[in-house]
Structures are given as C-alpha cells and as structure tokens.
Structure 1
Amino acid sequence: MSEPTPAPVPTPADKQLSNKELKELKKKEKAAKRAAAKGGSSGSESASTKQKESKDSNGKPPTATHIKKQLNSAKIIESDRKVPTMFGHLETREQRISSSPQIASIVHPKILALTLKISTYKIVGSTARCQAMLEAFKDVILSYQTPDNASLQRNLTSHLSHQIEYLKTGRPLSISMGNAIRWLKQRISIIPIDLSDEVAKNQVIQEIDLYIQEKILYSDKVITQFASTHIHDGSKLLTYGHSEVLKKLFKYCAVEENKSFDIYIIDSKPLFEGKKLARELSAVPNIKCHYNLINSLSTILERSDIDFCFLGAHSMLSNGRLYSRVGTAMIAMASKNKNIPVLVCCESMKFSDKVQLDSVTLNELGDSEDVINTKPFVKTGSNLNQFLISLQNKEPKKPQQQGTKKDKRELQLADSESPVLNNWKELKPLNILNVLYDLTPPEYIQKVITELGALPPSSVPVILREYKTNA
C-alpha cells in the first residue's frame, strides 16, 4: 500500500486574506513596479531625449507649448531659496534668467536687447516698457518671413509668442504689455487672407504706430489737460517715484500754462526713480522741487500744507484697487489721514479686469541684493564707540589699549570695506525680500483721471467696458 501523501502546507496565497492584508500586498506590488521603473529609466530617458532631438531637427519651428516646456525645464529649483514661505510661489530673478539661453537662437536681436534692458532696469515703467516692446515688435514683423504651407495670420502669432516667452525671462509682463499683446494678436488674426505678406506686414506696423499714438501719446495729452485744472499758482503737490504722465503734467502746467508751484517728490530704494523726476523738473522754470526719502513723509505732511497728492499707476484693477510700485499704499494712506485728496493719473490701456485683494497672490520679486546697504557701516550707537572711532582717526599708529573685545570688534567692522550683510544668505533665520508692487484700497483714492474722463475708483468697470468696445 502506498503511503498517504501529506496535505500541502497552505501558503499565504492559498489563505483567504483580509481586506487590510490585500491592501498591503497591493502597496508592495506598486512599490516593486516603481523600483523596476526607476532602474530602467536611464535607458528610456536617453531614448526619449533622442526622439525629441530627432523631432526638433526636422526643420520645423518649435511651437509655443514646446518653448514653455523648455523654459520650465531650464529653471533653477533652489533648495535653499531665501524667500519666505508666504512668497514662495513667486519667481525670483535668478529663476527667470536661468531659462533664457534655451530659446535665444530663435529670438530676434531687438527682443534680446530689450530683454536685457528691462532685466537691468534700464527701461522702467509700465508705459515705457509697453512702448519699447511695440517698437521692437515692428522690427520683428519686418524681418518675418512666412514659411511654406503656412499663413501669415496663424504663423505670425506663434512667432511672436516665442519672442514674448523670451521677453518674460527679463521681467514679468506688465498689464499694459499684456493688453497690447492681446490687441496685436487680435488684429493679426483678422487680416484678409488675399493680402500679400508685404502689404499685411505694413498694415500691422501702421496699426502699431496708431496704437502708440492713441493709447499712449494722445492719452497722456488728454490726461494732462484734465488734471491741470487741479493745479494753481502757489499749489503744493506731493508725488511718489517717477511717472511719465505726471512728468508731462507738471511740465505742461509750468511751461504751457505758466503756473508756479512746489512739488515734494518722495522716493525710496532700491531704484530711486524719484531722482530722475527731480532732475528733470528742477530744470523747468516755475517749479520748485523738494526731494525727500519716504522715511520723512510724516514730517512733510506735518509741516507743509499739501493741496493734492498725484500718483502714477502700474495698473487699475476692476475692484478699484491701485496696483503700483511698493510704497504707494503708504503714501495714499498718509495723505488720506491728513485729508489730502489723492488723484491717480492712469491711461485706459493699464486697466485690468483682474480682482486682487492683497499684494501677495500676484507680485514681482526683485533681487534681494538691491535693498542691502553696499557702503561700509559705522556704528554710532553709543558715545563710547564715537569716542574710540575719533581717537583712532586722530592717532592711527597708536594701538588702542582701552576698550573691551566687543568695542575692538566694532572698530574693525567700521574700518573694513566689506558691505553690511554680505553674508546674509548664510544666516538661516534672515530673509531679505524685495517686493516691487503693492495694492492701494479704493477708499484712499478720490479720483482716477483717464483720457475718458475723471471717475471714482468704483467706476473702473465702466472704463473697462469702454476700452473693450473701442479696442
């Protein structure tokens, strides 16, 4: 008789597993698949890159989405970014500049030069940047050639998109630049198909010239005529930074209308834009300029009887808030507390249908090094330090015998030529933030003066509707 075979030992697979055990097995299987995929990713990645290179080498121009992918892949991901968590979603200047070499080969030289000027703050201001961009687009359109089996109406907009993506690497586009780009693409899309390329390009260039004349130059003239009624002989005006339309307004009142008045120009670091305005207005007769930094604002409002506060604008949002250079909200708030009317001069091309409640969600970060004092720091906080420094200046050859180690260390810091906070990136608790814009609530603004008239901030949506119908 054959011996009975022993019953098989039940394996874990033969047992009826519970739901918890089944989930754990599935997790282990997924982890094993991921590990296997990672192990063979190097070969697959090289193959995929070869395929992409072969696709790009076909001679076809890259699309706008492909350009965006190249820019995103080239951006620097800083693990130790010295940016607070609240502003972590905003791009730094280094991240924008790092992606610029990826598409430089297909960018027009005028756009390359303009991007460099904008990124180095050679061209500052929403209006100046928009006008310089449109002038550069004229050269881009002149040198454009429609490829075979393509139409100018479709291919020219994609060609401009490549230039715009590179332009964004210098600085984010302003509201006026975005409005101008949308208008230009819309005008290109409605060009008749039966027109030749040369005629179509000349037509687009003429429309760009007309846009600059109407939306920038003529608009500034109308705004200056509206706002000049608030300026009289002997008026005392307050302004902040530099604004092109305000500069034209003050010159118009002094030269054309022969009015004499005082202007208190408030300025702040790091760009010190008010210096340019003070330098230009000081040469104009009938204008007496007073240049002050923003830390003396309360003193000026206390001792000077300011009649009006004129402010420029980067943009006016649809909820009536003013989006302008950082510090504008404080100027408007302090003027409102002193019952000084705040007037904003803004072209209609700067109006946006966006709604923003704070200056954190959307903003621009500048270089943190710009707000650091670059001159040697001399501590004069105590009489002892002043006395020791004066002794050292009088007798540099004799060593100081008195004083503690702390005093000697401060003297060495005073004599050194190294800038203050030169090693601030090594200090983990310290974050230096250079925010370029802020929001001013509509309660602080009495009137917004545009080429369409003078209206309260609550009527901004009306101007937006008028702008869209006339666009």
Structure 2
Amino acid sequence: MEKKEVAANRDKKPEKVKSDKIQTTVSEQNSNKENEKLKRKLEWEKRLAEQKLKGKTEETQDLSKTKLKAIRRERQEAQRQAKAEYKVQEKPKSKREKTDLQVQHTNTVTEKPLEVKKSKAKYIQFVQHLYRQSSPEYSKFVNYKDVHAVFVHLGIQYAEKVILGSNARCLALLSAMKYLINDLQTPPKQEFGRYLESVLQHSTNYLQNCRPLSVSMTNVLRHFKLQLTRMDANLTDNAKKAHLQEVIDLYINNDIKKAWDAISMKVNQKIVDGDVILIFGCSSLIRKILFEAHKDEKKFSVIIVDSRPLLEGREMLRRLVSFGIKCTYIFINAISYIMTGVTKVLLAAHALLTNGYVMSRVGTAQVALVAQAYNKPVLVCCETYKFSEMVQTHAFIYNEIDSSTSLFKAGTQALESPLAALKDNPKLNVLNLLYDVTPPDLVTAVVTELAILPCTSVPVVLRINASETIL
C-alpha cells in the first residue's frame, strides 16, 4: 500500500508543474499585450504632437510679424468688449440687490468712492459736523404732532431769518412759552409739571430743527426747567400756570430789560461830546445805548459798519436816523480808511465764553483787530444771561452755517451778483458762517449789568449766578 501511494504522489507532481507553467505563460501574454497597447498610444501621441508642431511652424512661417500683431490686437479688443458687456449686464442686478437685500462686499467696495465724492462736493470737511439735514418745507405743514401752533409759527420765523439777534430770539421764545402754558391742558392721570416738560421738549426740538438754538435761549430753558422742578406739587394747575408766567415775566424784567438799563447807564458815562462811535451790524442793546445818550443831549456821531449777506446795518441806520442821530454808513472793507477818526468802538455779543472769547456776528473779530491796530478802545456790551460755560478758541467747533445762496446775491443793487455765474461750479465750495470768535486780547473791557469787567472774569460771574440759583 505504501508503494502505491508513493507512485501516485509522483504522478501528481508533474501535473502541478504543468499547470504552473500554463498560468505563467498566460500572464506573460497579457502583459505583452498591455505593453504593446501602451507603445501604440505613445507612438500615436508623438505623431499628433509632431503634426501640431509642423502646422504651427508652417503658420508662423507663412504669417509675418505685422499680421501676428494684428491678430493679437483683435483678440484683445474682443476681450475688452466682452468685459464691458458683462459689466453692463451686472449693474442692474447690483441695484436690485441693494434695494431688496444687503449688498455684497464686492459691490459696496465699488460704490463707496462715489458717495464720498458727492459729500465732498456739498460739504467742507473741517466743518462737516456743523451741517444739518435739509430742513422741511415749513410752508406746507401747519400742524405738527405735540408742537403748539405758536412754536410752529416761531420756527418758520427763525428759519426764514425774520427774527434775528439773540435778544429778539430769546424774547420771542419766552412769549411763546407763555402762550403754551396758558393753553396747556393736562390729560387725566398725568402730573402738570412732567407733561409740560415733555411738551416743551418737543417744541424746542422743532425749533432746533428750524434753526439751532442760541446760547441765550439755552440759558433761558435751563432756568425755566429749574423753576419747574422747584414748583410746589400741591398747587392746582391754574396756580401753577400763574406761577410759571410770573417766573417768565420776572426773567424778562430782571435779567434782560433791567440789564439793558444798567449797561446803557454805564456806557453813557463813557460817551462825551464830540465822540465818533463805531458800531457793527444791528443790536437792540447798542441801539438802546445810543438812544439814551441822545436823550441826554450828548453830541456825537455814529459810524455804522455793515457786511454782506445779511446787511443788518441797514435796519440800524434806518432807526438811528429816524431818531435824529447823525450817522455814516460804510462797508467793512472800508473800515481801515475811516478808523483814524473813530474815538470808541461799541460791539455787541452773541455769547461770552468761559475763556474770555467773544462770540458774535461774522466780522466782529475783524473790526476789533483793526481797532487795536489803530489803538482805539473796544467795549463789548453783553448781558450776563449770555455768559456760557463753553470754551472755544476758533469759530469751527460750535457755529451756525447759513445757506450759501445768499452770498451769490448783490444785495445793494437790483442786478444779479457777478458771483452768480459760479453758483453751479462743482469745484467751488461755499462756506457761510454766521458767527466768529474774538480773542480777549482785542477787547478793552466787557460792559455788563454788574460792572465793567475784563473778559477773564466770566468764570467768576458764572460761579456767582450758580450760587444764587441754588439758594
């Protein structure tokens, strides 16, 4: 048995060897076929590359340099036209996306420079904070929510420059407040003082939109609100109305009218016969001083200096001449010519700042500068209720910008100003400031109802007024 099994195993071994040989031959054949296919592909690719190179070399040989340049130019122009058409198609899409959705970052980057150019054409950069939004058309609106009709009428007069001057604006505000208090009716379940304060706030906001509030107006509102908080809450509404109207009347009499009387008395002591007094613009306080001096039969003459565009000196000239005072009317460009014959300079003030600077109508600083150059005394007449806690050394921090169209009018003739041709010039930016700031070095003294003081005494007066209001 063992011999038979050994023989069978011998017979099986040659069969396994045969099968292994067959498999190796098949695999070799397959690999040979793949190698042949790869060789054929490589040969085909080489032939194609050689044909392309031959065609290019033939084309380049046939074409000259000028033809090649012409072909390149045609390709470039075609690319530019395609880009331009693509941009034209994209513009309306970006506008629609702006109105409906938030604009993508790429679109905003392209449109930001356009907005900056528009703002530069309209506004001057270093006084950009002084510009206000365009005021509404006041003539079309009569009724405003939570604004009394008297304040609506007053705002129109402020905006159209019918009421000019800090004293006139302050008195008009006080009279409007009296009308508001008289017509006020508190709704149920509301306290009189708080309701009046809210209504007054809406009204003053409306006035602020018409024209920025003056320093005198802000001081009046601060004083009135302080008295409103100190009022007895147990009083009836009618008693409260009567008390607040008395507060307003006392403020007008004591802080404004009696201050005028005291200032006019102090200045009249400085006026002598033969004086030539130079004034600038139009001021109710200066007019009262000159009227009182004329009543005392003092012989003097007045030189009225005026400037465009408001030309307020005309009204001052009309009133002084009607009262019988000898006057001379000049423009500010002739002030150095006439300053030699002047003995005193009287100037009014819009506000007196804590650092001693005088804020007044544009041109006041120039008049004071020329007066100092000729060694003429400069007296600034200002009531203490115009003293402000602001500190300012130039006219660009806090000021008021008037419309630029008034500078393109001649004002003195029926003909149009020669500057009107430059009105629509995009390279011209017009700045029309209403006030300037005069340094204390150019002012000899400030005449107040308290005394004739230097400009540096403003903090002391403010401290005294603050202590009196606390008491």
* TM-score of the pair, normalised by structure 2: 0.72
Q: Distance in 1 between matches of 2:136 and 2:431?
A: 18
- Which residue pairs with 1:108 in the alignment? 148
- Which residue pairs with 2:247 in the alignment? 207
Residue 447 in structure 1 maps to residue 422 in structure 2:
no
The one-character-per-residue Cα deviations of 1:19-44 (angstroms, maximum 9, x if unpaired) are xxxxxxxxxxxxxxxxx9996789xx
- Letter aligned with residue 428 of structure 2: L
Q: Please state whether the residue corresponding to 2:323 is helix, strand or coil.
A: coil
- Letter aligned with residue 445 of structure 2: K
- Which residue pairs with 2:433 in the alignment? 435
Contact 2:142 2:152 in 1 (8 A): no
Q: Distance in 1 between matches of 2:279 and 2:239?
A: 46
Q: Cα distance, 1:85 vs. partner?
A: 1.0
Residue 322 in structure 1 maps to residue 358 in structure 2:
yes
Q: Distance in 2 between matches of 1:442 and 1:315?
A: 13
Contact 1:240 1:274 in 2 (8 A): yes
Q: Distance in 1 between matches of 2:202 and 2:294?
A: 45
The one-character-per-residue Cα deviations of 1:179-208 (angstroms, maximum 9, x if unpaired) are 000111111111111111111011101110
Report matched runs for 1:11-30 at 5 Å: none
Residue 272 in structure 1 maps to residue 311 in structure 2:
yes
Contact 1:322 1:440 in 2 (8 A): yes
Q: Distance in 1 between matches of 2:338 and 2:99?
A: 66
Contact 2:121 2:426 in 1 (8 A): no
How many residues are matched?
Answer: 359
Contact 2:263 2:381 in 1 (8 A): yes
The one-character-per-residue Cα deviations of 1:39-96 (angstroms, maximum 9, x if unpaired) are 6789xxxxxxxxxxxxxxxxxxxxxxxxxxxxxxxxxxx746523111111124x624
Q: Please state whether the residue corresponding to 1:169 is helix, strand or coil.
A: helix
Q: Which has the higher contact order (CA 8 A, sep 6+)?
A: 1
- Which residue pairs with 1:356 in the alignment? 392
Residue 291 in structure 1 maps to residue 329 in structure 2:
yes
Q: Please state whether the residue corresponding to 2:330 is helix, strand or coil.
A: strand
Q: Please state whether the residue corresponding to 2:129 is helix, strand or coil.
A: coil
Report matched runs for 1:95-244 at 5 Å: 95-97=134-136, 104-244=144-284
Q: Distance in 2 between matches of 1:352 and 1:252?
A: 28
The structure that has the greater radius of gyration is 2
Q: Distance in 1 between matches of 2:279 and 2:417?
A: 32
Q: Cα distance, 1:105 vs. partner?
A: 2.9
- Which residue pairs with 1:464 in the alignment? 462
Residue 369 in structure 1 maps to residue 405 in structure 2:
yes
Q: Distance in 1 between matches of 2:269 and 2:170?
A: 28
Q: Distance in 2 between matches of 1:265 and 1:425?
A: 30
Q: Cα distance, 1:98 vs. partner?
A: 6.4
Residue 281 in structure 1 maps to residue 320 in structure 2:
yes
Q: Distance in 2 between matches of 1:199 and 1:231?
A: 47
Q: Cα distance, 1:422 vs. partner?
A: 4.0
Q: Cα distance, 1:469 vs. partner?
A: 2.7
Q: Distance in 2 between matches of 1:424 and 1:133?
A: 38
Q: Please state whether the residue corresponding to 1:426 is helix, strand or coil.
A: coil
Question: Which range is displaced more, 142-151 or 440-449?
Answer: 142-151
**Cα 1:143–1:222 shift into 2, 3 Å:** same
* TM-score of the pair, normalised by structure 1: 0.72
Q: Please, which runs of 5 or more residues in structure 1 have no aligned partner? A: 1-35, 43-77, 379-416
**Cα 1:323–1:97 shift into 2, 3 Å:** farther
Q: Distance in 1 between matches of 2:300 and 2:98?
A: 75
Q: Please state whether the residue corresponding to 1:173 is helix, strand or coil.
A: coil
**Cα 1:81–1:362 shift into 2, 3 Å:** farther
Q: Please state whether the residue corresponding to 1:106 is helix, strand or coil.
A: coil
- Letter aligned with residue 358 of structure 1: H
Q: Distance in 1 between matches of 2:102 and 2:421?
A: 40
Contact 2:121 2:427 in 1 (8 A): no
**Cα 1:171–1:246 shift into 2, 3 Å:** same
Q: Please state whether the residue corresponding to 2:326 is helix, strand or coil.
A: strand
| Percent of residue pairs bearing the same amino acid type | 35
Q: Cα distance, 1:421 vs. partner?
A: 4.3
Contact 2:151 2:203 in 1 (8 A): yes
Question: Which range is displaced more, 423-432 or 328-337?
Answer: 423-432
**Cα 1:364–1:376 shift into 2, 3 Å:** closer
Residue 250 in structure 1 maps to residue 278 in structure 2:
no
**Cα 1:113–1:177 shift into 2, 3 Å:** same
User: Of Structure 1 and Structure 2, which has the larger fraction of its residues in helix?
Assistant: 2
Q: Distance in 1 between matches of 2:385 and 2:451?
A: 14
- Letter aligned with residue 201 of structure 1: K
Q: Cα distance, 1:284 vs. partner?
A: 2.4
Q: Cα distance, 1:118 vs. partner?
A: 1.2
Q: Distance in 2 between matches of 1:244 and 1:189?
A: 32
Q: Please state whether the residue corresponding to 2:200 is helix, strand or coil.
A: helix
Q: Please state whether the residue corresponding to 2:398 is helix, strand or coil.
A: coil
Q: Distance in 1 between matches of 2:294 and 2:346?
A: 16
Q: Distance in 2 between matches of 1:80 and 1:106?
A: 37
Contact 1:349 1:467 in 2 (8 A): no
- Of the candidates 295, 300, 304, which is equivalent to residue 338 of structure 2? 300
- Letter aligned with residue 293 of structure 1: F
- Letter aligned with residue 352 of structure 2: M
- Which residue pairs with 2:79 in the alignment? none
- Letter aligned with residue 209 of structure 2: T
Q: Please, which runs of 5 or more residues in structure 2 have no aligned partner? A: 1-96, 104-117
- Letter aligned with residue 156 of structure 1: L
Q: Distance in 2 between matches of 1:227 and 1:177?
A: 25
- Letter aligned with residue 448 of structure 1: V
